Structure 1
Amino acid sequence: MDMDMDMGMGMDMGMDARSPRRFDLTSILSPDNLSMIVTPERVVYAGLIGSPLKRTLGSIAIYASIGAPFLIRTAGSDWRTTCFAVIPPYQAHDLVSTDKIVCSLHVEPESIDRTAAAELMAMDGDDQAGAVTCAAFRALVDGKATCAASTPEIDCVFFGTSLPGRSMDPRIARAVAMMQREAHDLACAKGYARLAGVSLSRFVHLFTLEVGTSFRRFRAWKRARSFLSLVRDSGNLTDIALEAGYPDSTHFSHSIRKIYGLRPKDILAGGRRLSVIRLSRAKSSHV
């Protein structure tokens, strides 16, 4: 990523989960002081964006502008000019900002119930929802509001309440939690099926039914998302690829570029200019 990447990454600012660090966006629009907040279920970012290739994220992507409108299009659609857009998970899209600035909130769809997910995606084109979201980002950027590195508080800032979680078959919920926690693990669906005590075909069917996407696609997204924690690694691309759970650097580069629209080496280069507040599910952790 060059420094203009929307999904910024970088240095962790560790915190105690019982007393989470406040997320201050007041200076985020400075090219030398970009930051974001990451929890296992949410990503909040406000800052510069370049012109990456088509991206296909596994999250519900909510984009808002606090400056000039941006251009956005999904696969098969025309460009539209707007200050607010919501893109469903795994929907390929392009985004271009005339002033190089965009704000985004990313929600992992399996972390909220289906009704809440549908309501979020239905906000696309809703002027009132757009105004509320843009106002929330503007308050954060102007320093009139702060946000702690916790999913409930992020939800309260943007939605006024915590979004309801999704109930899953315990066997699938356990697999999802493992994949979020250990995205680098190379275990295949067969291994997870064995842990769940069901056949491979039954596990794959249950997984798609409960999570809303295939095991393969979900694992690819979580692995790419876990790459955020490695952007300040000093190793070469091959070492980083292996640490992130990719079999080789070629597969790594192809997957990251397909999902983020940027080459891993550009993401790593840009990561040096970014700081991240990142909270793990159980405790604070260093990126």
Structure 2
Amino acid sequence: MERFGDGNPNIMLIGNSRLFYNGLLGNALKTRELGAFTIYAAPQGVFKLSIDDGPWMERQIAALPPYTPHRLSSEADMITTILIEPETVSNGEMLGLQHLINETRDAETVVRNIREAKKWLEKSHDNSGFRTGDFDELLLNRTLEKRSLDGRVARVLCSFRNKEDDLNLSASSCARSVDLSTSRFLHLFTEETGLRFRSYRMWKRARTFLAYANTDSSLTYLALDLGYPDSTHFSHSIRRIYGLKPTSIFEGSRNMAIFAGDKYAKATAVR
């Protein structure tokens, strides 16, 4: 990765299984519910976190399981975020990382490492093509254990990474592709990943949207190309997941530098 100048503090690295974001937090009063294992770190000082409408807590760093309703507040309106797709790491790894960050003094070491890595990334001229292992080592200073999956579920997950034609995949089409009934496939999918298929698909659409956050794409076309039935459904889904309107995310990401990871493919139909 080539280095330069003082760098851009607004940066996103997006890959198939990992995402790093450092930038504006946005409206802190709205509930968000991300489909990834989420690590928040304050770029400096602390941020405030409320989980499932509970009391506000001041934290330097926090880890949340997937689909945990929460709210954030930051005096500087900036936040550092690491998203780890739960189907790519073992349950034990996620539980261990959550315990380390939320309940031990070693969390101070983790947040310090993330802040140092953030500074390095800000000054890098080109972060594209990053690999998952390098991402984990740089930001978390560790290798995360992969989840062992049934081959049929692994094939379906792989198809979700082919963003040219999969953003509206149905459970029935996925089931047929691996020679299972729809009901058996849905049961196996949840059993193997710990996730509900419908929620997983909704999250993947919303996550893919982030790759276009700094573009001038039409939101109407973008919604359709990402598999949403219409712009109203698109806006509602994005607000539910990120606590922000799509237009607000676009406005706050104009100066965002976005880098795609190794083998990360955008939806080519997006206009």
TM-score w.r.t. the length of structure 2 is 0.87
Letter matched to residue 83 of structure 1: Q
Where does residue 244 of structure 2 map in the other structure?
262
Q: CA deviation at 1:46?
A: 2.4
Cα distance change of structure 1 residues 238 and 84 upon mapping to structure 2, 3 Å threshold: same
- The yes-or-no answer on 1:128 pairing with 2:105 is yes
SS at match of 2:106: helix
Are 1:175 and 2:165 matched, yes or no? no
Whether 1:166 and 2:147 are equivalent positions in the alignment is yes
Displacement of 1:266: 1.5
More off after superposition, 119-128 vs 191-200:
119-128
Q: 2: CA distance between counterparts of 1:62 and 1:160?
A: 14
The two structures, once aligned, show a CA RMSD in angstroms of: 2.7
Q: Which of 5, 24, 36 is residue 48 of structure 1 equivalent to?
A: 24
What are the ranges of 5 or more consecutive residues in structure 1 without an aligned counterpart? Answer: 1-20
Specify the SS of the correspondent of 2:38: strand
Q: After superposition, what is the alpha-carbon deviation per residue over 1:76-110, rounded to whole angstroms, capped at 9, x for unaligned?
A: 42111111111110101101012222222111111
Matched residues in 2 for 1:23 and 1:208: separation?
A: 43
Task: Name the counterpart of 1:151.
Answer: 132
- How far apart are residue 134 of structure 1 and its match? 1.6
Which has the higher relative contact order, 1 or 2, with Cα contacts under 8 A spaced 6 or more apart? 1
Q: In 2, distance between residues paired with 1:189 and 1:239?
A: 24
Contact 2:37 2:65 (8 Å CA) reproduced:
yes
Q: CA deviation at 1:151?
A: 1.2
Segment drifting more, 277-286 vs 187-196: 277-286
The 3 A distance-change label for structure 1 pair 278 and 69 is same
- The code of the aligned residue for 1:180 comes to R
Contact 1:42 1:105 in 2 (8 A): yes
SS in 1 for 2:238: helix
Instruction: Give the partner amino acid of 1:175.
Output: V
Once the two structures are overlaid, the 10-residue window that deviates more, 57-66 or 254-263, is 57-66
Cα offsets for 1:24-50 (capped at 9, x unmatched):
895344xxxx11211111111223323
Deviation for aligned residue 1:280: 4.3
Q: Per the alignment, in what secondary structure is the counterpart of residue 187 of structure 1?
A: coil
Q: Using the TM superposition, give the Cα deviation of residue 184 of structure 1 relative to its aligned residue in structure 2, in angstroms.
A: 5.1
> 2:20, 2:82 within 8 Å by CA — same for their partners in 1?
yes
Q: What's the TM-score, normalizing by structure 1?
A: 0.82
CA–CA distance in structure 2, aligned partners of residues 117 and 130 of structure 1: 15
Match of 1:57 among 13, 23, 34: 34
* 1:77 and 2:40 matched: no
Secondary structure of residue in 1 paired with 2:161: helix
Distance change in 2, residues 1:25/1:105 (3 Å): farther
Pair 285,131 (structure 1): closer, same or farther in 2 beyond 3 Å = farther
SS in 2 for 1:125: helix
Equivalences for residues 176-255 of structure 1 within 5 A = 176-182=157-163, 185-255=167-237
Query: Distance in 2 between the 1:258 and 1:123 partners?
Result: 28
Structure 2: which amino acid aligns with 1:97? S
Following superposition, the deviation at residue 173 of structure 1 comes to 0.7
> Does the CA-based 8 Å contact 1:113-1:167 persist in structure 2?
yes
**Aligned residue number for residue 70 of structure 2:** 93
Sequence identity percentage: 32
CA deviation profile, 1:229-286 (whole Å, cap 9, x unmatched)? 2334434322110011111111100001101111111222233221111124368999
Contact map agreement 2:171 2:182 (CA 8 A) in 1: yes
Question: Aligned pair count?
Answer: 263
